[in-house]
A and B are shown apart, each in its own frame.
Chain A
Amino acid sequence: EPEVTQTPSHQVTQMGQEVILRCVPISNHLYFYWYRQILGQKVEFLVSFYNNEISEKSEIFDDQFSVERPDGSNFTLKIRSTKLEDSAMYFCATDLSSYGYTFGSGTRLTVV
C-alpha cells in the first residue's frame, strides 16, 4: 500500500536554529498538508499546498514557517528560529482529490 514517508523520525534542535522537515508524498497525490500535534493536545492544521502554492493556512502558520516542493517529489516544512513551543509531532498528509488523507508517521521535533 502506498505510504507517505517522513524524515527524520526525530529531530532535536537548539532554540533559535532552523529546521527542515521532509515528506515524500504518494506519487499521484495532488494535495499536500502539514499538521502538528503538541504532546497531549489536538492535531492542528498548519497549511495546505496545491499546484505549487499554499492554498490555505491556519493562524499558527506565521512568518516563521514556510513550505515548498523543491524538486517535484519532496515536500518540506521549514521552521526558522525555532522556539520551545514548536516542540511537537509534525505530520505530513497527502490527498488525491476527495479520497481522504493519508498521513505519514510523523517527525517528533524537540526544541531545547
Chain B
Amino acid sequence: KQEVTQIPAALSVPEGENLVLNCSFTDSAIYNLQWFRQDPGKGLTSLLLIQSSQREQTSGRLNASLDKSSGRSTLYIAASQPGDSATYLCAVSGYNNDMRFGAGTRLTVKP
C-alpha cells in the first residue's frame, strides 16, 4: 500500500526566503504526483502536476521536481510571501486511479 510522507510537518520562515518542502512515497509505480495548497477549513487547490515521465514542473515562483526511482518529490517556493501561508499537500496517483495524500506541511511566512 502506498504511503506518502511529508517533511517537515510545519515550517515558519521570514518573508522573502526561498524554501523547500519534501515528499516521499514508498511505491515508485506512480502515474502522477500532484502538489496542492489547502487554506484552513477550505478545499484543495492544485498547484502543480507532474506526470511519471516528467522530472519537474514550474509555475511562477513554484517549482516541483520528481525522482520516481527514489520515491521523492520536492516543492520549491521562491521569494516566499505571507500569502503563501497555508498547508501544502503532496499526493500520488497510482494506475488504479486512487490518490494517496501526505499529511501536509503547514507553512507560515512571517512579514
Partners in one complex: yes
B81 located at the interface, meaning its Cβ lies under 8 Å from any Cβ of chain A in the complex = no
CB distance from A11 to the nearest CB of B (A): 15
Chain B minimum-CB-distance residue to A45: B98
Interface size for B (C-beta < 8 A) is: 23
B44 pairs with A43, CB closer than 8 A: yes
A40–B51 Cα gap in the complex (Å)? 29
User: How many A-B residue contacts, CB cutoff 8 Å?
Assistant: 57
CB distance from A99 to the nearest CB of B (A): 7
Binds B, one of A13-21, A70-78, A80-88, A103-111: A103-111
CB distance from A91 to the nearest CB of B (A): 6
A28 located at the interface, meaning its Cβ lies under 8 Å from any Cβ of chain B in the complex = no
Interface of B (DSSP majority class): strand
Interface size for A (C-beta < 8 A) is: 26
Chain B minimum-CB-distance residue to A105: B43
Given A42-B103, A100-B49, decide whether A56 and B43 contact each other with a Cβ distance below 8 A: no
CB distance from A29 to the nearest CB of B (A): 13
